[in-house]
Amino acid sequence: MNRYLAEVFGTFWLVLGGCGSAVLAAAFPDVGIGLLGVSLAFGLTVLTMAFAIGHISGCHLNPAVTVGLWIGGRFEAKEILPYIIAQVIGGILAGGVLYIIASGQNGFDPVSSGFASNGYGEHSPGQYSLTAALVTEVVMTAMFLIVIMGATDDRAPKGFAPIAIGLCLTLIHLISIPVTNTSVNPARSTGVALYVGDWALSQLWLFWLAPIVGAIIGAWVYKTLISSDSE
């Protein structure tokens, strides 16, 4: 049970820290942190939690990562569903806390503001199409899994995996925030979309499908073509 609780708290921190920076601080008058700050915030949530709970649960914080690690032979199938449930719970709890905080500002409207939800078409920050969003999420998640599996490989330098993984997530956000607001994580997407409802829920399917497909591809590529298992 402590592994599942670790995933709840870890995903809570990821959504609160990452989406919280986007909702509360990205465009704050005069001292807004902007795209760079939000990207760094997401990376820092993973970096800090990897050190805090990595030794307990592996610090997945992401249903796509959980599925990808199973495909890569790093995780047991029987643990997939409990992990995903824990991650989604953590994301929803964080979304609720963030909603309460954001609602303290006059005029707050989650539907019109987006509440850091992921989207495509008219709900993409840069008005990118469904196809562009799909390709972005698949490719970014695939690369994320390759970095995760490589950084945690037995041959990799010990103790540096959290840094590599956190910086990878930062880079992913720097690339893809304009396209989809960056998901690569169904729990992160669900955690805020539920409080927006409306368009965010109608587009949520993409941010489950694409990251999981991307994770499967990335894990297969690493295991089959890159890792020592293929030698």
Domain that holds residue 12: 3-226
User: Model confidence over 134-166: pLDDT tens digits?
Assistant: 999 999 999 999 999 999 998 888 889 999 999
Domain contains 231: no
**To the nearest whole percent, how much of the chain has pLDDT over 90?**
86
Question: How confident is the model at residue 33, as a pLDDT?
Answer: 87
Domain contains 22: yes
The CATH number for 203's domain is: 1.20.1080.10
User: Model confidence over 93-136: pLDDT tens digits?
Assistant: 999 999 999 999 888 999 988 899 999 999 999 999 999 999 99
Nearest to 147 by CA among 139, 136, 100, 35: 139
Domain contains 51: yes
How many structural domains compose the chain?
1
Return the ∠ at Cα 8 (arms to 187 and 87), rounded to 5°.
25
Domain contains 220: yes
Domain contains 48: yes
Question: How confident is the model at residue 228, as a pLDDT?
Answer: 62
Where do the H-state alpha helices sit in 26-79? 34-57, 63-71
